[in-house]
Amino acid sequence: MELRNQVVVIGCGIVGAAIAYELSLVDGLKITVLDRQLPAQGSTGAALGVLMGAISKKTKGRAWQLRQTSMQRYETLIPELETLTNCQIRFNRHGILMLCFAEEDLASWEPIVETRASQRWRLEIWNRAQLQLSCPQLRNENIVGAIYSPQDRQVDPVALTQALVAAAQKNGVTFKFGVTVEEIKSTSDILNRCCNSIKTTAGELDVDWLVVASGLGSTPLTAQLEQPVALKPVLGQALQLQLKQPIGNPEFQPVITGDDVHIVPLGEGQYWVGATVEFPNEVGEVVAEAGLLEKVLQEAIAFCPPLAAATILRTWSGKRPRPDGRPAPVIEKLPGYSNILLATGHYRNGVLLAPATAQAIREMIV
Ligand SMILES: Cc1cc2nc3c(=O)[nH]c(=O)nc-3n(C[C@H](O)[C@H](O)[C@H](O)COP(=O)(O)OP(=O)(O)OC[C@H]3O[C@@H](n4cnc5c(N)ncnc54)[C@H](O)[C@@H]3O)c2cc1C
């Protein structure tokens, strides 16, 4: 039987890196990852790494399956990578605490808490008194309670991507950075179209399997094949704050989220706060609006007043790859092609869904 073992992955954000590592665990594959930049410079470099699995409102179907697979894999993946690379990856195991500002909102979680229990995930509904006891830094008269998800996590997306690259490299994967894929060359046989090589700024490469994990870059790449995966950029801005000391109980520092604003503890009195959600105009362009970042900060201060005393260390923005007119993410064979796999369009949950995406791609190849 003919061996089809040359796998090329385009893109080394969290998704491409997770795929590279997962495939490096399969015997006999020759894997090359290409990126026009260094690892984690696209959307991944801007992400907050909040892994909203159990605390999402998805309870069934593919959306829940992907979340559950990722949450389970994260628990083994982080120690596995730390051992392989001898590097620490910041992984917050204190859970996620979601504030509720209306009684109906709190009540709407009751059936989800029950469903989660049947799925063996724990969610707790906290009243104001419980919340005050655990997180005295949260002060806002409109808070009616909170949902606490002890098994959800937060991870440093850049450190994780770098660890995945280092571990995959150890397992024999080749990475080429600063290389842009310019063209995907395919056979013209209409009945059995497939990619046989790609043209890059560093020459041509033969391909048995092509994995497009190129985030927003996936649209121009697939447009050449007349099967464009339509993705739109949704901008997000965030900031890093420094306080003199940690807010609340230093022994309990979960990610706190209220009205879609996250406060992510980093240790030593530092916090990430974000992110804005800014949609593109009719021609698909989006430019960061300073006022919206200020609004996010003020919202965070409104429920966590000690943040008002913080110094801003840095601000940044990134563009999330959002599928146009279909649910995120896009994990499938490119229609009409037998060996082009799409792993893209993860929108707001690429860090959460990267391990499950990698497993899905592995199943398609092996
Ligand atoms: C502000 C912000 C906050 C976020 N917070 C979270 C969060 O808390 N939790 C979460 O799960 N997700 C979060 N996200 C979403 C998450 O960042 C994305 O879903 C995820 O990073 C997508 O990863 P990716 O690898 O597909 O894309 P990217 O990280 O964009 O990587 C794609 C890579 O492909 C490369 N590339 C593209 N085209 C080519 C080409 N032709 N040739 C070579 N290389 C190419 C690019 O250089 C890039 O490195 C956030 C996003 C933003 C912007």
Q: What six digits make up the tokens of 226?
A: 């007349």
Query: Is residue 25 scored above 60 in pLDDT?
Result: yes
**Residues 6+ away with beta carbon under 8 Å from 324:** 230, 231, 232
In a domain, 270, yes or no: no
What DSSP string runs through 195-244? EEEEEETTEEEE-SEEEE--GGGHHHHHHTTT----EEEEEEEEEEEE-S
% of residues, the chain, pLDDT over 90: 95
In a domain, 141, yes or no: no
pLDDT digits (tens, 9 = 90+) for 259-279: 999 999 999 999 999 999 999
Please, what is the angle between helix 350-365 and helix 14-24, to 10°? Answer: 40
pLDDT digits (tens, 9 = 90+) for 167-194: 999 999 999 999 999 999 998 777 778 9
pLDDT reported for residue 3: 62
- At 282, the pLDDT band (50, 70, 90 cuts) reads confident
Nearest CA to ligand 1 atom 2: 47
Q: Is the dihedral of CA 155, 125, 73, 216 positive or negative?
A: negative
Average pLDDT value for residue range 69-97: 98
**How close is the Cα of 60 to the center of ligand 1, in Å?**
25
Query: Distance between CA atoms of 346 and 146, rounded to whole angstroms?
Result: 27
Mutate to test the pocket of ligand 1, among 9, 43, 353 (most ligand atoms within 8 A of CB): 43
**Closest atom, ligand 1, to C-alpha of 275:** 1
Q: What is the mean pLDDT of the chain?
A: 96
Q: How many domains, the chain?
A: 1
281: left (phi over 0), alpha (psi -120 to 50) or beta: beta
**Closest atom, ligand 1, to C-alpha of 344:** 26
In the block, tokens 């309990």 appear at 252
pLDDT digits (tens, 9 = 90+) for 208-256: 999 999 999 999 999 999 889 999 999 999 999 999 999 999 999 999 9
Residue range(s) defining the domain that contains residue 84:
1-92+152-230+325-366
Contact 15, 346 (CB under 8 A): yes
In a domain, 211, yes or no: yes
pLDDT reported for residue 299: 98
Model's pTM, two decimal places? Answer: 0.98
In a domain, 334, yes or no: yes
Residue 192 sits in a domain whose CATH number is 3.50.50.60
Average pLDDT value for residue range 61-88: 98
**How close is the Cα of 11 to the center of ligand 1, in Å?**
9
What's the distance, Cα to Cα, between the start and end of the chain in Å?
A: 14
In a domain, 137, yes or no: no
- At 1, the pLDDT band (50, 70, 90 cuts) reads very low
Amino acid at 104: E
The verdict on the CB of residue 98 being under 6 Å from ligand 1 is no
% of residues, the chain, pLDDT over 70: 99
In a domain, 85, yes or no: yes
In a domain, 3, yes or no: yes
In a domain, 80, yes or no: yes
In the block, tokens 């997306």 appear at 157
